[in-house]
Structure 1
Amino acid sequence: MAQSIFLRITLFFLVTFTAMGIGFYTLHEKLTQDQEHRLEIEAGNLLLVLRKSVPLAPPLRRSYLQVQGYSVAEPHPDLLKTLQNALKTTPKNYPEEIKDSLKEGRIQILKDTNHLYVYLPKATPPLLVIKTDAAQQSLWPEILFITLMVALLLLYWLIIKTLFPLKRLINAITHYGKDGSYTPINSLQKDEIALVANALDSAMHKNQTLIEARSLFIRNIMHELKTPITVGKLSLPFLKNTEEKSILERAFFRMEHLIAELVRVEQITSGALAPNLKSCDPKLLLEKAKGLLFLKDNVIETVLDGTLIYADCDVFVTVFKNLIDNAIKYSSDGKVRIVQMGEHLFFYNKGEPWPRECTLDSLSEPFFHHHENPHSFGLGLYIVKSILESHNFSFFYRYVQGEHCFELVCRNSLATLD
């Protein structure tokens, strides 16, 4: 989850929102301090003008204040209720008598959203002097903050909307991996993700076409193979009970078994059929493989400890058959040695080492053939590797003391269920 691109983008925007909020909060505090300082100066100036107007009669005082740019109004209780203190603390630079008057409540410095007021409740009559628009505060920080927040949220939504097909893409690929069904994305967008989704749609369509063609090819091949076998079996009753008839009967039986085995192997390696896992005795698997290869006992040396393996026994015969066949075919003495150590099975055969460019992975490719190397295995290792992968088994190779060694590690998560 920590590697999710959606989570990273969300975290990036959250950090951006937080940093922007902190920045604008700091800016707001700075502007508030500047506003309070400005109000201190304006209130101080107003108080100085009021001190000069003290000797004047009330009508002349009003005129004098208006000439100085101030308004005078009656301190109506409803108006006073709407006002609040303009200063949080008494400025230190104010004269002492003004500080005392502010402390005793004979002077009150008030404000609303726009204007600055100096209220003299003890004057005769009580006086309310107004400095118009002195308390008005600029709204551009709030407007800018809201604008940027909306822009960032819109950008976040657009990015997530652009990346949203990734989830559909992941779900489609996940479903295909689980059950082989793929739901096309069919994106109408023109961005890179849409191009990837549409390219995947096209590739999956071609892949499905190839799978269907492969399945049809396999069915046709099996049909063509079964036809002569069926004809041969029908002709057997007309033969005399001779040794040749017995040989043909066994050959036809083994050919039918091989065809059925190939069908099952094809289904398992293609993912169309899950292995039928159960306990298997490697000794019995070896005997079946020897029978299919028409081998004599003297070509195989075995050291088996009797440990059972958990696999599809019918299919695993093919693994033994192919590894034994390859080992004998490409050995220098025509023999193979099979050793079991618990869940580990080793197939040894003597021979020259492979060329440097040949590896287990390259030789496990279907239809691989190294023209300059007599140790090429065609489809044998590909089938072996595919069956082992379907069982979640491991497959290794090494060359030790003049011998090729193929190692099977027959351990999977289901082994404890038996």
Structure 2
Amino acid sequence: MKRHGVLITILFALSVSLLSVSMIFYEFYKLNKEQYTNHIFTKYSVITQIYREHQQRLSSDIMLEANLAVYNLEVVKDAKSKENVLGRGKILKREGFKSFNTALMINKQGMYTKNTVSQLRATMLNYKNKIYFQIETPKGDILIEDSELKPYSYINILYTYAAIFVIISMSFILVLRKLSPLIRLRRKLSLYSNGNMNVSFKTKNKDEIGLIANEMERAKERINNMLDSRTLFLRNLMHELKTPIAKGTIATQMLESQKQRDRFSSIFHRLETLVTEFAMIEEVTSINDKKDFSTYRLVDIIDGAIDMAMVDRDKVSVEIGGEVKIDANYRLYTTAIKNMIDNAMKYSTDAHIKICINDRKELCFESKGERLAHPLHYYIEPFTKDNPSKNSFGLGLYLVDSILKAHDQVLAHEYEEGINRFIFA
């Protein structure tokens, strides 16, 4: 998920935007519909007044219909139609109210004013896309069809909402299209980091992402040139060094003095060891993928390391079962273990090393000796050695650390009760 953080953020923003717009339009739709309903419902007051005067004056139905026709209103007379409207119609609004009627009356005392309060109820209904008003009074009720009014229509709001929805969606689609080169660029970077040195970042786009891609193409070319120059330099250097070392080794045997022969043999042996370690370091740092990795039994790799170190097997205690396996480059991992054995032979007080697996399933190298004078990172720097009198160029632990990094591991150290414990974690 983290690899697609930008895409997920954009999709989240799109979802939130569309959801917010939808909620706003829905609330606007409800408010607009309510306002429209309230507005057309006010027509009931005209109907009530006409109907009430009809009842008071006892005018004919023809007169009632004529007065209603002025306002495009028509009385529903058919009993079946009235039943359908009242039974199946959707009530849009219903409201009860009081009607006040004042009349002059005469009795024995003379003239007086009589106020009459009537309980009325007005109901507005929608049936088959037509508006009806039902007026209910104590003396009866009447159902009137309004041929002028139409039910509320949401089409205009729907069109507006659809237009804004499409505009927002298209905007985010354009953003995603602009980001698609960035996704391709990330994939190319992944290929390049995995060792595909021929991948091309070049693009014809002139926007910001295109400028970055073209700059990366130029950086890739410079890096490839430097890597090629470095590889060529190191290989030529090691090749040219091996020839004089071999000649010097042969010439050493011609010296008459045994002491001088031993001294020069030691010098040329150190030089040969240094060149070999340089070659190994160059190989480790040049690993681009794990195609040379295979699954091996750990005891087989340790046996190969003991043979490579040329030490007596009774000086190495291996407490590892044959079921323990590891994915590794056999030659490099064997070299790392061989260097740990060499390190123990040089610096332990009893020239003995124990190789085992700890509780965390990590490979451990234990040997008796003094506590390290410096933190571990001091010793894994190239050409570092704690005791100048020892036969070392200080590349041993540096090479071990480099090999472990190529295997996604690290070198750790513990000291407990006179035991130095190096761990491949």
Q: TM-score, normalised by structure 1?
A: 0.62
* 1:183 aligned onto 2:200: yes
d(CA) in 1 for partners of 2:274, 2:389 = 26
The aligned runs of 1:133-282 (5 Å cut-off) are 141-142=157-158, 144-181=160-197, 182-184=199-201, 186=203, 188=205, 190-191=207-208, 200-228=216-244, 263=279, 266-272=282-288, 274-275=292-293, 278-279=296-297, 280=300, 282=302
- CA drift of 1:198 comes to 5.5
Greater alpha carbon shift after TM alignment, 44-53 vs 386-395: 44-53
Alpha-carbon distance in structure 2 between the residues aligned to 1:407 and 1:259: 27
Letter in 2 for 1:345: C
**1:95-136 superposed Cα distances (whole Å, 9 cap, x missing partner):** 999989x9xxxx998796xx97889xxxxxxx98654x7767
Q: CA deviation at 1:36?
A: 2.3
Q: Within 2, Cα distance between the matches of 1:190 and 1:374?
A: 62
Separation in 2, partners of 1:327, 1:108 = 98
Contact 1:36 1:87 in 2 (8 A): no
Match of 2:21, as an amino acid?
M
Q: Return the alpha-carbon distance in structure 2 between the equivalents of residues 374 and 259 of structure 1.
A: 21
Distance in 2 (alpha carbons) for counterparts of 1:23 and 1:199: 45
Give ranges in structure 1 of 5+ residues lacking alignment.
76-83, 120-126, 292-296, 410-418
Q: Is the 2:126–2:151 Cα contact (8 Å) retained in structure 1?
A: no
Partners in 2 of 1:88 and 1:398 — Cα distance? 84
5+ long unaligned stretches in structure 2: 77-84, 100-117, 135-143
Shift, 1:384, TM fit:
0.9
Distance 2:341 2:356 in 1: 18
The answer (yes or no) to whether the contact 2:133–2:146 under 8 Å persists in 1 is yes
Q: How far has the Cα of 1:406 moved from its partner?
A: 1.7
Bigger shift: residues 375-384 or 172-181: 375-384
SS at match of 1:304: strand
Query: In 2, Cα distance between the equivalents of 1:87 and 1:336?
Result: 103
Instruction: Report sequence identity in percent.
Output: 22
Aligned to 2:308: 288
Q: 1:327 to 1:128 in 2, by over 3 A?
A: closer
Deviation, structure 1 residue 339: 0.6
Give the Cα separation in 2 of the matches to 1:374 and 1:43.
113
Q: What's the RMSD between the two structures over aligned residues? A: 5.5
Aligned length: 365
> SS state of the match for residue 91, structure 1?
strand
Instruction: Report the Cα distance in structure 2 between the residues aligned to 1:374 and 1:253, rounded to whole angstroms.
Output: 16
How far does residue 216 in structure 1 lie from its aligned partner after superposition? 1.0
Match in the other structure for 1:414? none
* 2:336 equivalent to 1:316: no
Q: Is the 8 A contact 2:73 2:146 kept in 1?
A: yes
Change (3 A) 1:99 1:400: closer
Structure-1 residue corresponding to 2:316: 302
- Aligned residues of 2:345 and 2:352 also touching (Cα < 8 A): no
Contact 1:336 1:347 in 2 (8 A): no
Deviations along 1:44-91, one digit per CA (max 9) or x if unpaired, are 5256457769959989987x778x6x4589x9xxxxxxxx99972273
Q: Within 5 Å, give how 1:41-120 maps onto structure 2.
A: 41-46=42-47, 48-49=49-50, 70=71, 88-89=90-91, 91-93=94-96
Give secondary structure in 1 for the equivalent of 2:94.
coil
Are 1:10 and 2:11 counterparts?
yes
The corresponding residue for 2:137 is none
**How far, CA to CA, are the matches of 2:389 and 2:32 in structure 1?**
86
* AA matched with 2:415: Y
Please give the per-residue CA displacement for 1:278-331, whole angstroms capped at 9, x wherever unaligned.
44252442232237xxxxx69x943233645655443334224433455566x4
Larger strand fraction of residues: 2
- CA offsets per residue over residues 124-182 of structure 1, 9 Å max, x none? xxx98654x77676876445423432342133224323433342233123323434344
Distance 2:161 2:237 in 1: 72
Return the alpha-carbon distance in structure 1 between the equivalents of residues 146 and 321 of structure 2: 104
Shift of 1:338: 1.4
Separation in 1 of the partners of 2:132 and 2:72?
Answer: 9
Q: Distance in 2 between matches of 1:405 and 1:158?
A: 59
State how far apart, in whole Å, the 2-side matches of 1:258 and 1:377 are.
7
2:373 aligns with one of 330, 351, 354: 354
Greater shift, 173-182 or 218-227, is seen at 173-182
